[in-house]
Structure 1
């Protein structure tokens, strides 16, 4: 994420995968690398997927446990059992799970309250065919294990906002997940595709965002970081994009960055039409140990740069340890190094070599979890991480929790 250390009295109980690590490491012994079905596993998944009793332990924290039992939706008067009631109306620290497989067709965009986790593991949940998800002026939110697709534009209208307040919402373009003035957000293991506008927008001063283990496919405009060229508040934006799988049939914006800083590491790129990573308005990008597989025909260059003013923009685009196939190439900024955000030494983490990317991203997207699907493995590396400051991503922590 562009993720920072956070106050343990505020955010500790909203760790979807991290808060229960001590439960998950007690049954594991040691080895250098961890695998499921002979595949390398990334550091996020190592901390829970080896324990077949993950269902039992995922809600050991002191918060409101809410289960969705009803797939219907009412944008103004939601009823208990619906997703909107749990995500928008209940006030407090809420952990949402689902009773069974569901197809949820939202009448209006779902505005998620602060300190909410939506956990779709163990069932097959689709949010599709109309309005989709929005995080508006909210913080400390996790979205995990949801399929979001075929999202459509929405006309202005009234809707239940965060904390149950009815608000007027303007035009919505049809994104799968849109962040507006949001912070400390974790988007993990979701499958996003075929939406009217984009799959994930991080806009209007949003920052401290981790986008991990997702599968983005079948989309023209995939991911936008930064609202527009004139929104200078996005200079403070910090985002980590890690362990995601882009493709097939993704055309552009993986991501497209304005103003802020993005660390894009250990992702898999299965081709593009226009470009993979682009930007304008002096963005900073560190592309590290990704695998870029260029399309068989068409553009081979990974990057794209837009000049947004008469004096010309400057870009800081750097490639460190990336791997390129099918003639892919990366046009770096000449001289110097990309400006890093202010992360502490405890937030450092060595990015995995690009030769492991196929395996590390093989489980991207919604996982087919069950009570028996997780397998044990030997976890020397996991224990080392989980008993210190917990789980590390790229150059910083996803979350800091004091065990």
Structure 2
């Protein structure tokens, strides 16, 4: 056995032991069972097993960049030579003249690739929408970081961005205003809906291990030609409109959109759009659906969806059907809505339509093993922003 494999195995066993010691102090029987379940989930999760078993994860933060899967691929452009480490020490915000130490300064004023971390627990209330620069990683691990109460995050015509480990909630619409953009210039920004994260004409973005809820519009919008996106290990809850993929029915450039939605937990209290897709392609795999109101997965304009090894738990009453087809153009029976090895509970059902054309065709940097849906509860047990210590996460 190679030394690296041996070291990884030892680290994994030590991490399990450490978690057991921490949890056993409060409730020995329950804690031991829970710790084992968490570690089983980590081992099966292609993203988490890449970095969470590292006892020096805090020192090796940029290792995370090589752990992504799906259409975003490996985020190698966010690590390596020339990486700038920046720490947020000040939770305040100035939309047009950001101060050093604030989140906006790190996300807009620093040239090159930057890895942003936080000095302590904090709540950042943004004055206006935060525009994030290319080659930026926002890493909330280790602290309880909330972006909440007013404006939230946008990626506009940028690429190679990681958003990880944040609580984003209570986002509100913004009137047209002036903001600092990623070129370090103040620019006018039009009306912005109250979304937690909005991607506009962006590419190669990885959104992982965030907790998102209670925003006035939606939690995540992927629009206007955005592509090569991975949305993983997030917890989406308490929201009407959750995830929109595709700008509108007339925006045909979204035909090139490719999104991977993996290891996420949807619910409780999510109504629709998990996701709602226009034109493009989504691989929706190994996610947990804890009920829905109107529907779980829907779309218009002949989208292509491969739903694979997800767990769909229908609501106790109301609509039990997972899917919804929303426009009247063309033959809906030709739409590519596939369900492969999904598990349906509490009367859930999935109407399949279309033949062929729903394979993701990942390259080696994007591919990952699909886990049997019977393990989805374990896979998604750690979804959302993690509670990390210096040696475990």
Same fold (TM > 0.5): yes
TM-score by length of 2: 0.85
Tell me if structure 1 keeps the 8 A contact 2:173–2:191.
yes
The residue that corresponds to 2:386 in the other structure is 367
Measure how far apart 1:53 and its partner are.
1.7
Supply the distance in 2 between the matched residues of 1:79 and 1:345 (Cα, whole angstroms).
41
2:116 paired residue among 93, 96, 111? 96
Quote the Cα distance in structure 2 between the aligned partners of 1:233 and 1:123: 39
Match of 2:135 among 93, 104, 115: 115
Secondary structure of residue in 1 paired with 2:255: helix
Partner in structure 1 of residue 259 of structure 2: 239
Give per-residue Cα distances to partners, 1:118-137, cap 9 Å, x unaligned. Answer: 00000010000000000000
Aligned partner of 2:155 in structure 1 is 135
Q: What is the Cα deviation at residue 27 of structure 1? A: 2.3
| Match in the other structure for 1:324 | 344
Match of 2:67 in 1: none
Tell me how far 1:312 sits from its aligned partner. Answer: 4.5
More helix by share: 2
Please say which of residues 46-55 and 178-187 is displaced more in the overlay. 46-55
The alpha-carbon distance between structure 1 residues 69 and 32, as it changes in their structure 2 partners (threshold 3 A), is closer
Aligned-residue offset at 1:365: 0.1
Separation in 2, partners of 1:43, 1:342: 18
Does the alignment pair 1:47 with 2:67? no
Q: 1:29 deviation in Å?
A: 2.5
Partner in structure 1 of residue 372 of structure 2: 353
- Report how far residue 31 of structure 1 moved: 12
CA drift of 1:337 comes to 2.6
More relative contact order, 1 or 2 (CA 8 Å, 6+ apart)? 1
C-alpha distance in structure 2 between counterparts of 1:308 and 1:85, whole Å: 46
Q: In structure 2, do the counterparts of structure 1 residues 32 and 321 end up closer, same or farther at CA, with 3 Å as the change threshold?
A: farther
Q: CA RMSD in A?
A: 2.2
Task: Quote the Cα distance in structure 2 between the aligned partners of 1:300 and 1:338.
Answer: 27
Partner Cα distance (1:279, 1:84) in 2: 35
State the partner residue of 1:297.
317
Bigger shift: residues 221-230 or 154-163: 154-163
Partners in 2 of 1:55 and 1:350 — Cα distance? 27
**Residues 159 and 205 in structure 2, CA contact (< 8 A), matched pair in contact too:** yes
1:270 to partner: Cα distance: 0.2
Q: Is residue 256–residue 279 contact of structure 1 (8 Å, CA) maintained in 2?
A: yes
Are the counterparts in 2 of residues 278 and 303 from structure 1 also a CA contact under 8 Å? yes
Q: Which residue of 2 aligns with 1:253?
A: 273
Determine the C-alpha separation between the residues in 2 that align with 1:174 and 1:180: 14
User: For residue 6 of structure 1, what is the aligned residue in structure 2?
Assistant: none
TM-score by length of 1: 0.83
Number of positions where the alignment pairs a residue of Structure 1 with one of Structure 2: 351
Query: Which structure 2 residue ranges, 5 or more long, are not aligned?
Result: 20-34, 64-79
Tell me which residue corresponds to 1:270. Answer: 290
